[in-house]
Amino acid sequence: MSSSALSRLSNIQGHLHPLDSNSKVGEGLVKLSPEVSQALSCGHAVVALESTIISHGMPYPQNLETAKEVEAIVRENGAVPATVAILDGKPCIGLSMEELERLATLGTRAQKTARRDIAYVVATRGNGATTVSATVYFASMVGISVFVTGGIGGVHRHGENTMDISSDLTELGRTPVAVISAGVKSILDIPRTLEYLETQGVCVATYKTNEFPAFFTETSGCKATCRVDSPEECARLIDANMKLKLGTGILIAVPIPKEHSASGNLIESAIQSALREARDKNITGSAETPFLLARVNEITGGASLASNIALVKNNSLVGARIAVALAQLRE
Ligand code: PSU
Ligand code: MN
């Protein structure tokens, strides 16, 4: 890596605005697509996207269709999409259509890559689909401040005994990226997830609502402490967080659009059976979330997948508008 790239990286570690330097970001370490590279160097709006949702979160071919549609929505709303994945050991920020297709067809043969797995996947020249934690890490490294996904990981139910707490939460606690999601799935313990985010110093804001959403449904019974009502308000929040060098992330929770919200009871009973099955089959660790997602989808006869796709698209629209508002603010 060149010395300028190194100084850029150390600037980022110190949470300076990454665009303060003119060097090529992470040169040699990560591969930026030409479109993303160009957008970052001129301060254009960029939205980072994860890839575990493609490999492990949805079945083929809906995963590929959704990934393409999400990128299209981001573009239509004025931002450049940067899907992140590790291909043949190279962290890629911004994928070509062929790379997106490769990842979607690899499916679960790609390694689910959280922060702890990054070095191993790179060292073994593997193919890794990045989770929220790994994607946020790479986004921050190259100076992308806005990231969109469906839902983030959290404290698992019974996490007080198993200590199964997603590294998405600790990553948000140490990386200044805004994560746009539809809240936290009720396969998780939502109140404990919010407690944990508070401990980590993460600002949790709800978008146009007072209640923290539960992914498939608009409500979770948990009130938010901070509410934002427009992309511009989100941009000001992100900008203040960055200027203050808090170093922590922001979670912006956007409720699923009403017309797509699944029947709470249907989902809840599917979740209960999936959780029982996971316990009976002793499915734990990083395999648990993909197992639960797939089982809930099977049990609900695809209803949960349809809701999942709808909310990811909605988050992409909101995320792109936030990234555009942020780029305007920084002009
Ligand atoms: N929740 C979803 N869909 C997903 C995931 C979570 O509704 O695809 C993925 C994300 O990549 C998230 C990861 O970062 O699962 C969390 O996994 P774990 O619980 O093992 O930390
Ligand atoms: Mn876990």
Tell me: the pLDDT tens digits for 287-303?
999 999 999 999 998 88
What is the CA 226 to chain-centroid distance, rounded?
Answer: 20
**According to the model, what pLDDT value does residue 25 have?**
54
**How does strand 128-130 pair with strand 203-207?**
unpaired
> What is the b/e burial string over 151-161, where b = at least 16 CB atoms within 10 angstroms of the residue's CB?
bbbbbbbebee
CA angle, residues 115, 120, 122, in degrees to nearest 5: 95
Q: Does the beta carbon of 130 sit less than 6 angstroms from any atom of ligand 1?
A: no
CA trace torsion 194, 198, 203, 209 (10° rounding): 30
Mutate-to-test residue for ligand 1 from 49, 50, 51, 52, highest number of ligand atoms within 8 A of CB:
52
Residues of the chain short of pLDDT 50, as ranges, are 1-23
pLDDT digits (tens, 9 = 90+) for 173-218: 999 999 999 999 888 999 999 999 999 999 999 999 999 999 999 9
Q: Three-class SS of residue 14?
A: coil
Q: Choose among 281, 116, 114: nearest CA to 292.
A: 281
Pairing of strands 90-93, 80-87: antiparallel
Residue ID of nearest Cα to ligand 1 atom 16: 153
pLDDT at 262: 72
Out of 31, 50, 71, 171, the active site residue is 50
Give the separation between CA 324 and CA 331, rounded to whole angstroms: 11
CB 267 within 8 A of CB 308: no
Closest CA to 130 of 162, 82, 193: 82
ipTM score assigned to the predicted complex: 0.98
**Comparing C-alpha atoms, which of 169, 216, 218, 219 is closest to residue 194?**
169
Q: Does the C-beta of 286 come closer than 6 Å to ligand 1?
A: yes
DSSP track, 44-60: --EEEE-SHHHHTSS-T
pTM of the model: 0.92
Q: What per-residue confidence (pLDDT) applies to 213?
A: 96
